[in-house]
Amino acid sequence: MSFIKRLFCKHEYEFERNIYGDEINHVGGCRSWWRCRKCGKRVLDKSLHWPEPIEMTIGADGSEIHVGDLVERTDPPHRPGVVTHISMYDDGTIGVHVDEAANFHANYSPSLLRRC
């Protein structure tokens, strides 16, 4: 029955997970798994899936954090840095990407950051 359902399904694929390391070679160079939400069919895609960028989030002190803001961690080390982008991941978590120094980039939860 599931074969017939998949055969006539108008697929609506949603991201399942990215593929890394040796598994890339095992699946012929593909970088992500996608699953149809209607019938469960899984397909591979050659592109790596990136989280959706968002414009603003709320920091530990309740202030708004935007791309380009100068922020610092609330716990040691209190290195200041500039927000390069903010991402919303598939599980609903938010990552704030901070350029803290030359060649040093970090990804933090908004609850660990405050505006300088």
Residue 1: predicted pLDDT? 47
User: Burial level of 98, CB count in 10 A (0-12/13-18/19+)?
Assistant: buried
Residues 103 and 61 in one domain: yes
- Give me 67's structure tokens: 């791309």
Residues 67 and 102 in one domain: yes
Residue type present at position 39: C
Residue 43: predicted pLDDT? 94
Residues 80 and 58 in one domain: yes
Listed as ranges, residues in the chain with pLDDT below 50 are: 1
Residue 107: predicted pLDDT? 76
* pTM for this prediction: 0.54
Residues 18 and 57 in one domain: no
Residues 83 and 103 in one domain: yes
Residues 105 and 60 in one domain: yes
By residue range, what is the domain housing residue 95?
52-115
Residues 30 and 68 in one domain: no
Number of folded domains that form the chain:
2
